[in-house]
Amino acid sequence: MATKKKASDKKDPCWDGYEKEGMKNKNGKKVPNCVKKD
């Protein structure tokens, strides 16, 4: 049976052009706070 990969399974949780700046709460869960690189 195939398993789905979660975003947290990747080394870098942010999209290209974004970087992680700590964690934030979203719907009661801690998620990476990704902000656009300058």
* Per-residue model confidence (pLDDT) at position 31: 96
Q: What is the pLDDT of residue 11?
A: 79
pTM above 0.75, yes or no: no
Q: What pLDDT is attached to residue 36?
A: 96
pLDDT digits 0-9 by tens, 1-38: 666 555 555 578 899 999 999 999 999 999 999 999 98
Indicate left, alpha or beta for 28 from its phi (over 0: left) and psi (-120 to 50: alpha). left
Measured CA to CA, the distance from residue 17 to residue 27 in angstroms comes to 25
pLDDT of res. 12 = 82
pLDDT for residue 38: 83
Measured CA to CA, the distance from residue 31 to residue 17 in angstroms comes to 18
